[in-house]
């Protein structure tokens, strides 16, 4: 139980200040109040205790964003998530790739090693809402393990959780390294307090996943035991600003019928609160995966842009040039794009229900 006191509302914006640059979410909300509802709504939003103090007249200062029909006006009520207490910040997790540590094997190959521990942790997934999660290394998604094609990989797994877990990697490997216990071929169920070493070759190149594969599967995934696993092609990929985005959701009341909160990288509306800053014209590469439990499909849509899509990242030729892509659970791909214009651009699930329940963010393109 976390009965954390929410932060006091942000300082009131100066009505005289220019609107260019950073616009607080509250201002955006206030700006949209007249569009979202009636004058009464605007007054309510503008006047009362939450600190919505900008007069509705300022709506006129936010041209261009109304095209989304009030979409930017969505979001959580009050405050922001305590990323420090969570132990990870979605804004940093976004560009955090874990290359592990390397040593040289006798045959000259690289041996890449990671230490992963599973443990239970409460994570604030929306302002004021705590989720009793199961994590790899205390975060959701778990660390994005990154390596190069052909390397030898070793994962030292410790289960510090109160429940048995495993690590199942997508890729090519022997059966006993598959991390899906219960098949009678010696794959261990890693009991609480036990450890196990997974070892296999990095192949094929692409964007893959790892996750727990212990029954009941839906629960172990919904609780947060998954992460990205990137195998770079031997020759590498072109230099880019690289981002990891794992689409997920949280069934906070554990009724197993859909999720209460949807997100990219766990915290709903995190990238609306803190837009992702990218450079105009620079190549941006997004490693996009869907680990959403309970809902059959998820999607990614970007505003004001198109991207090259590489399904599973296993081919160097894109399959499609599009602005919307859908993925079932476990599906993933690589998106490459450049932003031609400066400004703020939305990205969100084009399943609008998910968007309004947290899976929505902003790119902020700078010169």
Residues forming the site for another protein (CB under 8 A): 1-3, 5-6, 29, 33, 36-41, 44-45, 48-50, 74-78, 125-131, 250, 252-253, 260, 268-269, 353, 356-358
Nearer to another protein, 32 or 287 (CB): 32
Instruction: Output the smallest distance, CB 292 to another protein, in A.
Output: 15
Q: CA-to-CA distance for 89 and 326, rounded, in angstroms?
A: 26
Instruction: Output the smallest distance, CB 26 to another protein, in A.
Output: 10
Nearer to another protein, 178 or 295 (CB): 295
Nearer to another protein, 76 or 136 (CB): 76
Nearer to another protein, 162 or 315 (CB): 162
Nearer to another protein, 289 or 360 (CB): 360
Instruction: Output the smallest distance, CB 23 to another protein, in A.
Output: 17
Q: Are strands 241-250 and 283-290 parallel, antiparallel or unpaired?
A: parallel
Six-digit token pair at 276? 């992702």
Q: CA-to-CA distance for 239 and 55, rounded, in angstroms?
A: 46
Instruction: Output the smallest distance, CB 203 to another protein, in A.
Output: 40
Instruction: Output the smallest distance, CB 191 to another protein, in A.
Output: 25
Which H or E run contains 208? Answer: strand 206-211
Nearer to another protein, 36 or 217 (CB): 36
Six-digit token pair at 34? 């007249």
* Sheet with 226-232: strands ordered across: 97-98, 142-148, 226-232, 206-211, 168-169
Instruction: Output the smallest distance, CB 270 to another protein, in A.
Output: 13
Q: Is 183 helix (H, G, I), strand (E, B) or coil?
A: coil
Instruction: Output the smallest distance, CB 128 to another protein, in A.
Output: 3
Residues with Cβ within 8 Å of 91's Cβ and at least 6 positions away in sequence, in order, are 270, 271, 274, 276
Q: CA-to-CA distance for 285 and 53, rounded, in angstroms?
A: 39
Residues with Cβ within 8 Å of 192's Cβ and at least 6 positions away in sequence, in order, are 159, 160, 161, 162, 163, 164
Instruction: Output the smallest distance, CB 348 to another protein, in A.
Output: 12
Residues with Cβ within 8 Å of 186's Cβ and at least 6 positions away in sequence, in order, are 176
Q: Comparing C-alpha atoms, which of 364, 351, 96 is closest to residue 245?
A: 96
Nearer to another protein, 76 or 310 (CB): 76
Beta bridge partners of 5: none
Nearer to another protein, 269 or 347 (CB): 269
DSSP state of 84: H
């Amino acid at each position: 139980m976390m009965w954390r006191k929410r932060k006091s509302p942000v300082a009131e914006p100066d009505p005289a200040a220019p609107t260019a640059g950073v616009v607080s979410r509250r201002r955006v909300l206030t700006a949209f109040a007249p569009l979202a509802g009636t004058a009464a709504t605007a007054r309510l939003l503008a006047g009362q205790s939450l600190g919505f103090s900008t007069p509705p007249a300022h709506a006129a200062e936010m041209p261009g964003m109304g095209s989304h029909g009030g979409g930017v006006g969505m979001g959580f009520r009050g405050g922001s998530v305590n990323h420090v207490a969570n132990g990870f910040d979605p804004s940093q997790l976004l560009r955090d790739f874990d290359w592990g540590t390397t040593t040289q094997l006798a045959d000259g190959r690289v041996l890449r090693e990671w230490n992963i521990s599973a443990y239970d942790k409460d994570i604030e997934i929306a302002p004021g809402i705590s989720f009793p999660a199961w994590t790899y290394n205390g975060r959701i998604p778990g660390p994005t393990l990154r390596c190069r094609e052909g390397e030898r990989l070793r994962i030292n797994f410790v289960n510090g959780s109160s429940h048995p877990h495993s690590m199942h990697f997508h890729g090519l490997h022997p059966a006993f390294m598959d991390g899906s216990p219960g098949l009678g071929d010696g794959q261990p169920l890693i009991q609480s307090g036990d450890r196990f070493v997974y070892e296999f070759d990095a192949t094929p190149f692409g964007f893959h996943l790892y996750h727990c594969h212990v029954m009941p599967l839906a629960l172990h995934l919904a609780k947060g035991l998954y992460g990205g696993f990137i195998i770079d092609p031997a020759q590498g990929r072109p230099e880019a600003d690289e981002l990891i985005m794992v689409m997920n959701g949280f069934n906070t009341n554990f009724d197993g019928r859909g999720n209460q909160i949807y997100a990219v990288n766990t915290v709903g509306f995190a990238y609306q609160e803190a837009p992702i800053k990218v450079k105009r014209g620079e190549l941006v590469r997004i490693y996009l995966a869907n680990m959403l439990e309970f809902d059959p499909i998820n999607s990614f849509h970007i505003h004001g842009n198109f991207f090259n899509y590489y399904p599973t990242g296993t081919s160097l030729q894109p399959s499609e040039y599009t602005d919307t892509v859908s993925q079932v659970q476990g599906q993933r791909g690589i998106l490459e794009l450049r932003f031609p214009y400066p400004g703020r651009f939305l990205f969100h699930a084009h399943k609008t229900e998910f968007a309004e329940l947290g899976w929505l963010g902003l790119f902020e393109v700078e010169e």
